[in-house]
Chains A and B, each alone.
Chain A
């Protein structure tokens, strides 16, 4: 049975990441990426902290990457998965890479193609979990039934984000203590003392 359905969810919890890079290695094994890792593992603030953050595609409900694509090459399937650009159409313009609110897509300029996390569609469509979630030892990346997460974690899944006045809804969730207010992405957090 395919695991890309309403029952299952992807839960991202950067606070659990231990920076082991197992997800990076495993992601490259996915058949739809052909040896290229689509996971980003970044240090948040190298001078101040050892903390790392794994980033997978959040699979937006109305993906901005698809809206800004001039070739109409990025499609969201009925199961809510936003796929890599369609090979015959993608013209490698980088609009998607530069417009994604979460910094996910990667455009390979020699290939004239954008590749991104597609929830390991070759696996999830056959009843297997995504590679990264399979190997993550601390469950910073967790693919599990939505009903299970309530009992597993103190924090709750949040699928809404705001950037200024822009509202973004996603399929994948970030774990936070309360879900009443969307997660506000405020760039002043990136610089000590704000702007």
Chain B
């Protein structure tokens, strides 16, 4: 058995992950002007980010290669490449605003959950959006020439804009990570309270998957805020120790990204592709159940699911000598079928009306009777 098989690694996602990481490393080299603008204090973060990139890319491509995931991924790609791609792109943008930006579906699950998740997710994304360009050397700040009262912002080695040190923009720029940290701590606190109060979550939550990421995020945020406190109120006391502690927690968080719950950040946009798929299925129409005749399954999903079942080696699930598939039965008829099959095995013994002839005319329902 080869090393890859022993480690349960798949070659195709490995190659794609290596290419993705090489691409990101190339962008770092380009944006930092061959590494000239890289901040030596942030090199530990850079290495951990590149490792996390490889891990996330491997898991992402491995996930996309799963037959059911590929079913939707392929459909979204095909639609975007088709003549309808432009319209589809705008529809996806609209859905992304509702689902990803505003996270309305979480609000429908519970308001408390939405509040916690909104703070947590936007706090994290704001943190990543600030630190990644700084770590990659894409953004940096220097004094504006000889003017010690102004700062110069550089983007990809190009001078972007200057701002006075005592302005609002300076305060926001220098404390944006503190704002993100407060949002994350508030979100984590709300999550812990909700998890403590919710019997369902208490029963099903796992320490490694559900609680550890929250604790790690709190550790990152608290040590980050401690840096500001040390610098602003304690004359820089213990600044270096706190800086190392902060770096350690961030590196732990980055290394855990591909393996833990936070991986759903890159999985979640798949929801937008599914919206598009459903919309196209509705336009195509629903296929009726072979037993009761009620339309229930979208035509595109019916076709794709049979193909998926075959790819998953779930073959031969047919009825009436192969004339139709088990997928052609609606969920209600599938449930009735279990009882009918049990009844048959019992010789029809449990049905008090077994053997009686069926009425030849439809029986009027209760409302018709009461009105007479």
Give A contacts to B, CB under 8 Å: 14-16, 30-34, 40, 42, 44-45, 47-51, 53, 55, 64, 67-72, 83, 87-89, 91-95, 97-104, 110-113, 118, 121-122, 125-126, 155, 161, 163-166, 174-178, 183-192, 194-195
In the bound complex, how far is the Cα of B195 from the Cα of A51, in angstroms? 41
| Pairs across A and B, CB under 8 Å, 15 listed | A15-B342, A30-B200, A31-B198, A44-B336, A70-B270, A70-B274, A91-B270, A95-B68, A103-B335, A163-B319, A183-B342, A185-B338, A185-B341, A191-B291, A195-B320
Which residues of chain B come closer than 8 Å to A99, judged between CB atoms?
Answer: 305, 309, 327
In the bound complex, how far is the Cα of B198 from the Cα of A189, in angstroms? 43
**How far in angstroms is the closest Cβ of chain B from A78?**
12
Q: Do A15 and B271 touch across chains, with their CB atoms under 8 A apart?
A: no
Q: Do B316 and A165 touch across chains, with their CB atoms under 8 A apart?
A: yes
Which residues of chain A come closer than 8 Å to B326, judged between CB atoms?
Answer: 101, 163-164, 166, 185, 187
Most buried by A among B66, B203, B277, B353: B203
Q: Do A48 and B312 touch across chains, with their CB atoms under 8 A apart?
A: no
Name the residue of chain B whose CB is nearest to the CB of A64.
B314
**How far in angstroms is the closest Cβ of chain A from B84?**
20
Which residues of chain A come closer than 8 Å to B297, judged between CB atoms?
Answer: 98
**How far in angstroms is the closest Cβ of chain A from B113?**
8
Q: Indicate if B148 sits at the interface (CB-CB under 8 A).
A: no
Q: Do B317 and A163 touch across chains, with their CB atoms under 8 A apart?
A: yes
Q: Do A183 and B345 touch across chains, with their CB atoms under 8 A apart?
A: yes
Which residues of chain A come closer than 8 Å to B91, judged between CB atoms?
Answer: none
In the bound complex, how far is the Cα of B267 from the Cα of A155, in angstroms? 47
Give B contacts to A, CB under 8 Å: 63, 66, 68-69, 71-72, 99, 105, 108-110, 198-200, 202-204, 261, 264, 267-268, 270-271, 274, 277-278, 290-292, 297, 301, 305, 308-309, 312, 314-320, 322-324, 326-327, 329-346, 349-353, 356, 358-359, 362-363
Instruction: Evaluate whether A195 and B335 lie within 8 angstroms (CB atoms) in the complex, with A51-B350, A113-B109 already known.
Output: no
Instruction: Evaluate whether A174 and B336 lie within 8 angstroms (CB atoms) in the complex, with A15-B349, A51-B351, A93-B72 already known.
Output: no
Which residues of chain B come closer than 8 Å to A175, judged between CB atoms?
Answer: 342
Which residues of chain B come closer than 8 Å to A53, judged between CB atoms?
Answer: 335-336, 338-339
Q: Do B199 and A122 touch across chains, with their CB atoms under 8 A apart?
A: yes
Which residues of chain A come closer than 8 Å to B200, judged between CB atoms?
Answer: 30-34, 121-122
In the bound complex, how far is the Cα of B110 from the Cα of A34, in angstroms? 10
Q: Do B334 and A47 touch across chains, with their CB atoms under 8 A apart?
A: no
Which residues of chain B come closer than 8 Å to A51, judged between CB atoms?
Answer: 339, 350-353
Name the residue of chain B whose CB is nearest to the CB of A81.
B204
Name the residue of chain A whose CB is nearest to the CB of B109.
A111
In the bound complex, how far is the Cα of B204 from the Cα of A186, in angstroms? 36
Name the residue of chain B whose CB is nearest to the CB of A123.
B203
Name the residue of chain A whose CB is nearest to the CB of B104.
A110
Which residues of chain A come closer than 8 Å to B317, judged between CB atoms?
Answer: 101, 163-166
Option from B203, B324, B334 in Cβ contact (under 8 Å) with A100: B334
In the bound complex, how far is the Cα of B348 from the Cα of A48, in angstroms? 13
In the bound complex, how far is the Cα of B352 from the Cα of A16, in angstroms? 12
Which residues of chain B come closer than 8 Å to A70, judged between CB atoms?
Answer: 66, 68-69, 71-72, 270, 274
Q: Do A112 and B342 touch across chains, with their CB atoms under 8 A apart?
A: no
Q: Do A88 and B66 touch across chains, with their CB atoms under 8 A apart?
A: no
Option from A97, A125, A188 in Cβ contact (under 8 Å) with B319: A188
Instruction: Evaluate whether A71 and B356 lie within 8 angstroms (CB atoms) in the complex, with A100-B334, A103-B330, A164-B318 already known.
Output: no
In the bound complex, how far is the Cα of B69 from the Cα of A51, in angstroms? 40
Q: Do B342 and A111 touch across chains, with their CB atoms under 8 A apart?
A: no
Q: Do A103 and B334 touch across chains, with their CB atoms under 8 A apart?
A: yes
Q: Do B291 and A190 touch across chains, with their CB atoms under 8 A apart?
A: yes
**How far in angstroms is the closest Cβ of chain B from A117?**
12
Name the residue of chain B whose CB is nearest to the CB of A105.
B331
Which residues of chain A come closer than 8 Å to B261, judged between CB atoms?
Answer: 88
Q: Do B351 and A49 touch across chains, with their CB atoms under 8 A apart?
A: yes
Option from A87, A164, A177, A190 in Cβ contact (under 8 Å) with B337: A190
Q: Do A83 and B291 touch across chains, with their CB atoms under 8 A apart?
A: no
In the bound complex, how far is the Cα of B321 from the Cα of A194, in angstroms? 12
Name the residue of chain B whose CB is nearest to the CB of A96.
B68
Q: Do B315 and A165 touch across chains, with their CB atoms under 8 A apart?
A: yes
Q: Do B358 and A47 touch across chains, with their CB atoms under 8 A apart?
A: yes
Option from A49, A92, A166 in Cβ contact (under 8 Å) with B315: A166
